[in-house]
Amino acid sequence: MRKPLVAGNWKMNMTRATGQALVAELSGLPAAVEVVVCPPFTLLAEIAAHCPAGVSTGGQDCFWVPNGAFTGQISAEMLDDAGARYGIVGHSETRGRFGKLDIDAGDVGYFAETNTTVRRKMEALMRVGLVPILCVGETLAEREAGRTEDVIREQLEGAFQGFTEGDMAKTVVAYEPVWAIGTGQTCAADEANRVCAFIRQWFPAGVQNQVRVLYGGSVKAENAAELFGQSDIDGGLVGGASLDAAGFRRIVEAAAP
């Protein structure tokens, strides 16, 4: 039986004061749901130290080398040292699109992440015992071109190349259609479930029942129960709605079996 997981991605939001106040309001969440908050790096150690029982922390990204001359980067070892237990990898805001970046034209992949760098980050997290939350998903143009499954297959093949079945089973995959992130445009629950099932079935048979597959993209208190009630959706990766304690609590409660 897979334990439901709800992870909040705070992105570039929150201060020490507001972050602490938010997690202080997250006590007493249902024990049947694993809850993770992913603050900015600067808050990670502090939030990890102040999380109520049942809530753990994750990083939003990492670099794959343990330490060295890599200005501006944070390694998996540093996430571990700060108290994190999870790490988001391959978010659409860190991936690159089509090898070029045009922010003025609305590109969302600001940091030129490729499937290869995603894999290195996955390996780095596993090296220190952190659980990767791998984000995969198609853009609107890719969906309209009928390429959703192809794009996701490529992302999975890239991220898990060389992984043993045992290591695959320890990871979490979040299906995050790029067109649904931060737009208020949620993927219909049955369609989200169909793609999550496709992701699950990509794994070897022995892994399929163990790997947790989340949905992310404009999850809110109002739509969480329908999404989490689907057979192949094991919880959610929540951006904007994780910044409000009351709303996030309702989302977590919606994931309880």
> What residues are labeled active site?
91, 176
Place of tokens 């299906």: 175
Q: Output 13 or 42, the one with its CB closest to ligand PEP.
A: 13
Instruction: In angstroms, give the least distance from the CB of 14 to ligand PEP.
Output: 14
| Token code pair at residue 18 | 């507001």
Residue 252 in the binding site for ligand PEP (CB under 6 A): no
Residue from the set 87, 90, 109, 216 that interacts with ligand PEP by CB under 6 A: 216
Rounded Cα–Cα distance for residues 49 and 190 (Å): 38
Q: Which stretch binds ligand PEP (CB under 6 A): 16-24, 51-59, 70-78, 233-241?
A: 233-241
Residue 9 in the binding site for ligand PEP (CB under 6 A): yes
Rounded Cα–Cα distance for residues 181 and 190 (Å): 18
Rounded Cα–Cα distance for residues 196 and 241 (Å): 21
Percentages helix, strand, coil for the chain (3-state, rounded to 5) are 40, 15, 40
Instruction: In angstroms, give the least distance from the CB of 136 to ligand PEP.
Output: 12
CB 174 within 8 A of CB 215: yes
- Residues 140-169 binding ligand PEP (CB under 6 A) are none
Residue from the set 60, 75, 218, 223 that interacts with ligand PEP by CB under 6 A: 218
Q: Output 58 or 240, the one with its CB closest to ligand PEP.
A: 240
Q: How many residues bind ligand PEP (CB under 6 A)?
A: 13
* Residues in contact with ligand PEP, shown as a per-residue x/- string from 170 to 199 under the rule CB under 6 A: ------x----xx-----------------
DSSP 182: T
Residue 40 in the binding site for ligand PEP (CB under 6 A): no
Rounded Cα–Cα distance for residues 53 and 23 (Å): 10
Rounded Cα–Cα distance for residues 101 and 11 (Å): 20
Alpha helices in 91-183 (DSSP H): 115-127, 140-144, 148-160, 165-169
> Which three-class secondary structure state does DSSP give residue 100?
strand
Instruction: In angstroms, give the least distance from the CB of 67 to ligand PEP.
Output: 28
Q: Output 56 or 223, the one with its CB closest to ligand PEP.
A: 223
Residue from the set 130, 211, 224, 238 that interacts with ligand PEP by CB under 6 A: 238
